[in-house]
Amino acid sequence: MQTGLRWLWGLAGMMLLQGCDKAEREAFYQSGIIYCSESNPVNFNPQTDTSSTTADATAHQLYNRLLNFDPDTGQVIPSLASSWKVSDDGLVYTFQLEKNVAFHETAYFTPSRPFNADDVIFSIDRWRNDSNPYHPVSGGRYPYFESLGIADNIFEVRRINGYRVEIILKREDSSFLANLATDFSVILSAEYADYLLSRGTPERIDHYPIGTGPFKFVSYRKDHFIRFDKHENYWHGAEGNSEHLIYDITPKSSIRLAKLITGECDAIAFPAQTELDIIVNREELTLSEKPGLNVGFWAFNTNRPPFNDPSVRRALALAIDKNTLLEAVYFESATRAKTLLPAASWAFQSDAEDTGYNPVLARKLLDEAGIEPGFTMTIWAMPVERAYNPNAVKMAELIQRYLSAVDIQVDIVTYDWTTFRRHLREGLHDSVLIGWSADNGDPDNFYRPLLSCGAIPSGTNRARWCNREYDQLIDEALQTQDLVRRKAIYAEVNRLLYNELPLVPIAHAYRYQAYRNNLKGMTINPYGGVRFAGVTKSL
Amino acid sequence: MQILIRYSTLFVLTLLVLAALSFALAYLFPGDVLVNLTGITPHNEIQREALIRQYQLDEPYLFQFLYYVQQLLQGNWGYSFISGLPLRDEIAVAMPATIELSTYALLTALFLGVPIGCYAGLKSYTKTDYTINSLSMVSYSFPVFWIALVFILIFSLELGIAPLSGRVSLLFDVPNVSGFVLIDILLADNIDSGLAFVDALHHLILPTASIALISTASMIRITRRSVIDVLKSPYIAAAESRGLSKRKIFFQHILRNALLPILPLMAIQITTLITNAMIVETLFSWPGIGNWLIQAIYQRDYPALRVGMLAVATVVISFTILIDLFNRLIDPSREKYERGAI
């Protein structure tokens, strides 16, 4: 033992001497950005998942889309499609594609050709076309496209030539371009897909991703880290991008903040509302803020009696005091939600009706609906922090207290995030505290995925509520390009929702991002996931 | 030879009991026995039937158990319910991290605790002794998680001199070869080993110190007690009367005789040490088995819990029995009455 130890110390001493060059050390620690993220991505393909964890880890790092949102104006701007044309009847979209866009070259795949029309067709067919061999891979669910009904509305995707693609719709859809610019409409490599298929391992496409984005995938260890390296041949130019990008998966927000303070993380996901003051008071940290396109709500499982009765749902909504929930859970970093839409959306209706706090009326309604005192229900509280609900468990406890005042017992249920969402999709809940972050500013992005009939199988309709009139109204809103007309339709939708109350909107939260001052180029992307292209680090 | 046989029997029997316990867990945990045992969720009835037949779940319990043990020995430990990865691979990554942390803490405790304990023993019942004694009593009484949190608060958050999570900065892509991060860094050729080694040592300081503090305290107390006992013995008085130098008496007579009884007590310490390491891991996000088990509990990953418990128990028992055996071999005088003192 003695000699072994001496050997070790000698070695350590040598190492210390060898590694003491300060400039070299600084250069090394500047070479990579560490981002403390909140959870594990489901896989590395945002087409298959609407969770923002997956989108954050993949959408803007590994991939590009045909179109992008301008982060300031919300306008659709070119990306892989350098220009586009919409036919007069609004049914045919023609995209001119960028040339010389390189795919990632990694240890597991070497592309032989740049991006072209085949990749666009494959990427869209993956979620659109049941007969595509890749459609059933990784579960065969494409919740974003299913919940918005986009897949059903595409008649054909056609190749005009190597760099021109035509998409033909069945019905007019004024939100179609916006949907192609969301985090989920990423472009995959058709060549890689063929290669995997020929080797009989198609499922690898979502776990060993190949894209055109500014970073390429290196490795992933669940509950620990995701590693990305710079994509040297990035078509926008790789100079401004960091050499390495690492996601340090840290579920607890207090630990994320601690790591931000010690410098183990350069930026963190979802700073907790209670901790914002600490970040503001620290000189070396920056907190940026933007009103978010999101809504936190309490959804009832309308498939389960007695929650299929609108008057029971109304009674429960009347039994809670939203303002107290806002103060106790969001700490003034959110505004009260009356409808699904936040004020940042153009279709926001400022005079919409809202439920007040009236426990006496609530008990009366419950009695009329035949709900005995002592009735027990479950509230599912999501286990992760989200801007739209930073502490669902605490909110559930508050609601538990409010409901016990009207003689209703509440059991609070929570699981880890993956299991939680699987059980929600199976409809095992009575009610759930969850929310939605929109992927674009279009109101359809709130109304359709959250409450339309088509969104039940894909799992984004947490209330499992299906109403023909509602679906007709939101379809009608898409048939017109006239914003005033659309706004009027959404006002009607709001009234319908106020009468039916499949869910109780609670809050629209601000979006925060916290990072160390030595990160240059960090911006909040109001339309979806975090982006690290163009972000650099100095010491 | 006889001792070896006796100890191997003890070892094998204990492991069998543990295996039986872990097998029983598959039935005791909520949910499907097949899933708990294999970690594979069958997609349809045909697959389910096949799995049941493969794992002999349609046979009597005894045969199921025998097949289970056979599978364990072959390294087929089932799959994680959540990640779908083979549990053996996951444990093979997590377990060395825990052993590594415990080893450094144990070494620290030995190299600090034994000399300080000797010194206190030699100066017994003086002010120095009382000071050392009470200090070690105080640090022994701290709960390890509290110490770790205080360390994080002072050294990471306030002073900013030590990092609070992980084994090495994630900027270093250290390939996992031996599972021991310091060794892996030396073996790696894709990174600047010098930088990485210093970085890893930085990461080691706080978790090692938190665990070592408590182990050192108990080491001091054990050594001190033992030195005092030896000092009282007649052969020390004899050596003194022969006029041997203090130095010679200490190294030739006191130290050797005082260290012998420490070994079996160390065996008991191993359990505490590994338990403490597992607690500290979760605070320092150290990717060891304790952290891994906590995740498994949170995610209700029953196959992982079943094997994880077995793996931890096996490691603890192997170390305990090995130290005990070693102790018996170098000191045959302690025969009968300490048999099976695990």
Residue A419 clears pLDDT 90, i.e. is over it: no
Which tokens go with A330? 């969001």
Fold of A294-511: Dipeptide-binding Protein; domain 3 (3.10.105)
Total count of residues recorded for chain B: 342
Numbers of helices and strands, H then E, in chain B: 15, 0
Residue ranges and CATH numbers for the domains of chain B are 95-300 (1.10.3720.10)
Inter-chain touch B298–A418, beta carbons under 8 Å: no
Sign for the CA dihedral angle at B282, B285, B290, B296 comes to positive
Inter-chain touch B169–A18, beta carbons under 8 Å: no
> How many whole angstroms separate alpha carbon A65 and alpha carbon A27?
33
Q: How far is A376 from chain B (nearest CA, A)?
A: 23
Instruction: For A404-429, give the secondary structure using H, E and C.
Output: HCCCEEEEEECCCHHHHHHHHHCCCC
Inter-chain touch B83–A222, beta carbons under 8 Å: yes
Which chain B residues are within 8 Å of A218, Cβ to Cβ?
173
- What pLDDT is recorded for position A516? 92
3-state secondary structure of B44: coil
> Which string of DSSP letters, residue by residue, matches A42-95?
S-S-GGG---HHHHHHHTTTT--BSEEE-TTT--EEESSEEEEEE-TTS-EEEE
Which tokens go with A481? 């390009």
Residue B173 clears pLDDT 60, i.e. is over it: yes
Contacts of B282 (CB under 8 A, 6+ apart): B290, B291, B294
Contacts of A428 (CB under 8 A, 6+ apart): none
Comparing C-alpha atoms, which of B176, B202, B175 is closest to residue A29?
Answer: B202
Which chain A residues are within 8 Å of B169, Cβ to Cβ?
29, 34, 264
What number is the average pLDDT over the span A402-415? 91
Numbers of helices and strands, H then E, in chain A: 19, 20
Q: Which CATH class is domain A2-41+213-266+518-537?
A: alpha beta
Contacts of A176 (CB under 8 A, 6+ apart): A93, A150, A153, A169
Which chain A residues are within 8 Å of B198, Cβ to Cβ?
15-16, 19
Nearest to B198 among A15, A258, A416 (CB): A15
ipTM over 0.90: no
Q: Give yes or no for a contact between B98 and B288, defined as CB atoms under 8 angstroms apart.
A: yes
Which chain B residues are within 8 Å of A254, Cβ to Cβ?
none
Q: Is B204 exposed, middle or buried (0-12, 13-18, 19+ CB in 10 A)?
A: buried
Comparing C-alpha atoms, which of B97, B155, B115, B143 is closest to residue B290?
Answer: B97
- Tens-digit pLDDT profile for residues B119-170: 999 888 899 999 999 999 998 898 999 999 999 999 988 888 888 888 888 8
> How many whole angstroms separate alpha carbon A538 and alpha carbon A192?
36
Cβ under 8 Å to A: B residues 303-322 = none
Detail the DSSP E strand segments found in A183-333.
215-221, 225-230, 244-249, 267-268, 285-291, 294-300
> How many whole angstroms separate alpha carbon A506 and alpha carbon A326?
8
Query: Looking at chain B, which residue has its C-alpha nearest residue A417?
Result: B299
Helix (H) or strand (E) holding B269: helix B262-283
Inter-chain touch A29–B298, beta carbons under 8 Å: no
What number is the average pLDDT over the span B24-50? 82
Vertex A268 angle, CA A56 and A538, to 5°: 105
Interface contact A255, partner B, CB < 8 A: yes
What pTM did the predictor assign?
Answer: 0.79
What single-letter DSSP state applies at residue B250?
I
Q: How far is A42 from chain B (nearest CA, A)?
A: 10
Half-sphere exposure of B25 (CA within 13 A, CB side): 20
Q: Give yes or no for a contact between B147 and B210, defined as CB atoms under 8 angstroms apart.
A: yes
What number is the average pLDDT over the span A494-520? 91
Q: How does the average pLDDT of chain A come out, rounded? A: 88
To 10 degrees, what angle do helices B87-122 and B289-298 make? Answer: 130
Interface contact A414, partner B, CB < 8 A: no
- Tens-digit pLDDT profile for residues A364-390: 999 999 888 889 999 999 988 887 888
Give rounded-to-5 percent helix, strand, coil for chain B.
75, 0, 25
Interface contact A248, partner B, CB < 8 A: yes
Phi, psi of A376 (to 5 degrees): -110, 135
**Beta-carbon count within 10 A of B141 CB:** 9
Question: A96: which strand partners?
Answer: A83, A164
- What pLDDT is recorded for position A12? 55
Which chain A residues are within 8 Å of B82, Cβ to Cβ?
222, 416, 418
Interface contact B171, partner A, CB < 8 A: yes
**In chain B, how long is the greatest CA-to-CA distance?**
86
Which of the residue ranges A235-249, A365-379, B24-38, B275-289 would you say has the lowest mean pLDDT? B24-38
Detail the DSSP E strand segments found in A415-502.
431-437
Inter-chain touch A15–B295, beta carbons under 8 Å: no
Interface contact A426, partner B, CB < 8 A: no
**Beta-carbon count within 10 A of B3 CB:** 12
> How many whole angstroms separate alpha carbon B286 and alpha carbon B284?
5
Identify the residue with better confidence: A438 or A56: A56
What number is the average pLDDT over the span A429-448? 86
Identify the residue with better confidence: A458 or A360: A360
Beta-strand pair A431-437/A375-381: parallel
Is A67-195 a CATH 3.90.76.10 domain?
Answer: yes
Sign for the CA dihedral angle at A343, A347, A351, A354 comes to negative
Contacts of B85 (CB under 8 A, 6+ apart): A222, B79
Which chain A residues are within 8 Å of B152, Cβ to Cβ?
258
Mutate: best of B104, B170, B289, partner A, most A CBs <10 A: B170
Interface contact A258, partner B, CB < 8 A: yes
Which chain A residues are within 8 Å of B171, Cβ to Cβ?
28-29, 31-32, 34, 244, 246
Nearest to B163 among A5, A31, A262 (CB): A262
Cβ under 8 Å to A: B residues 280-299 = 285, 287, 295, 298-299
Q: How confident is the model at residue B335 (pLDDT cuts 50, 70, 90)?
A: low
Inter-chain touch B169–A29, beta carbons under 8 Å: yes
Mutate: best of B195, B281, B326, partner A, most A CBs <10 A: B195
Query: Looking at chain A, which residue has its C-alpha nearest residue B162?
Result: A262
Cβ under 8 Å to A: B residues 251-280 = none
Total count of residues recorded for chain A: 539
What number is the average pLDDT over the span A114-121? 94
Detail the DSSP E strand segments found in B151-296.
none
> How many whole angstroms separate alpha carbon B3 and alpha carbon B9?
10
- What pLDDT is recorded for position B296? 87
> How many whole angstroms separate alpha carbon B208 and alpha carbon B167?
11
Which of the residue ranges A134-143, B67-76, B333-342 would you say has the lowest mean pLDDT? B333-342
Nearest to A248 among B82, B170, B197 (CB): B170
Mutate: best of A25, A35, A216, A223, partner B, most B CBs <10 A: A223
Nearest to A262 among B157, B195, B201 (CB): B157
- What pLDDT is recorded for position A186? 94
Which tokens go with A19? 């590694």
Interface contact A246, partner B, CB < 8 A: yes
Inter-chain touch B285–A255, beta carbons under 8 Å: yes
Inter-chain touch A28–B171, beta carbons under 8 Å: yes
What number is the average pLDDT over the span A421-437? 90
* The residue type at A342: P
- Tens-digit pLDDT profile for residues B302-325: 889 989 999 999 998 888 888 888
Domain ranges of chain A: 2-41+213-266+518-537, 67-195, 294-511
**Beta-carbon count within 10 A of B295 CB:** 21
Nearest to A16 among B160, B165, B198 (CB): B198
Nearest to B194 among A18, A263, A415 (CB): A18
Expressed in angstroms, the distance from the first to the final Cα of chain A is 41
Cβ under 8 Å to B: A residues 214-233 = 218-219, 222-225, 227
What number is the average pLDDT over the span A128-157? 87
Inter-chain touch A28–B201, beta carbons under 8 Å: no
> How many whole angstroms separate alpha carbon A502 and alpha carbon A452?
11
Inter-chain touch A19–B192, beta carbons under 8 Å: yes
| Residue percentage of chain B with pLDDT more than 90 | 27
